[in-house]
Structure 1
């Protein structure tokens, strides 16, 4: 059976002073995940660790994000991380640094057993 997207979670994270896109990306994914309690696996009778999670992160400099650090945020299932150009880099008032904003989208996919409702 093909995997079907069951949930889309969206979050935003920042690094106020450090210009660390990984920190902002991790915070964005946590924001997306920690505001929800996914009971769908229990309702459908499937193991919570059978989830496949596709994470997309938007930051100003995608090359600087540690994908493994972002992936480590997932509490259940397995996942992939794609980092794309996005987010914001806001210069500080004195021009000595930036505040980074990252966006995260976490798509949860399940391979449902025969007869399960979609």
Structure 2
């Protein structure tokens, strides 16, 4: 699972950097919020999850790890796509708001699952 998170995180980093370079070259920073979310929940959080899986979760339940991975990826993907369309002015907030809300809850759920896995995995180590 660590490899999946790191590879996915690096993919988000490439997309985020490309968006940042585009904004800098066009001097149009309207997607700054999208860029920040790509880099933070896409790259940084995914990468940290990969490190957590490598260091503390090598024997965690594969089913739970997969659920956590896909919940995070689905939530993150929809947050980023919705933010892009919102800040591009392509789709109204009344349509994107509920999708952003559910997607954000998915990202939160993935974080809660990560905490549960860490607690279960390290409870005897302390």
The reply to whether TM is greater than 0.5 is no
Q: Which is helix-richer, 1 or 2? A: 2
Q: Which is strand-richer, 1 or 2? A: 1
TM-score (normalised: structure 2)? 0.31
Q: Which has the higher contact order (CA 8 A, sep 6+)?
A: 1
TM-score (normalised: structure 1)? 0.33
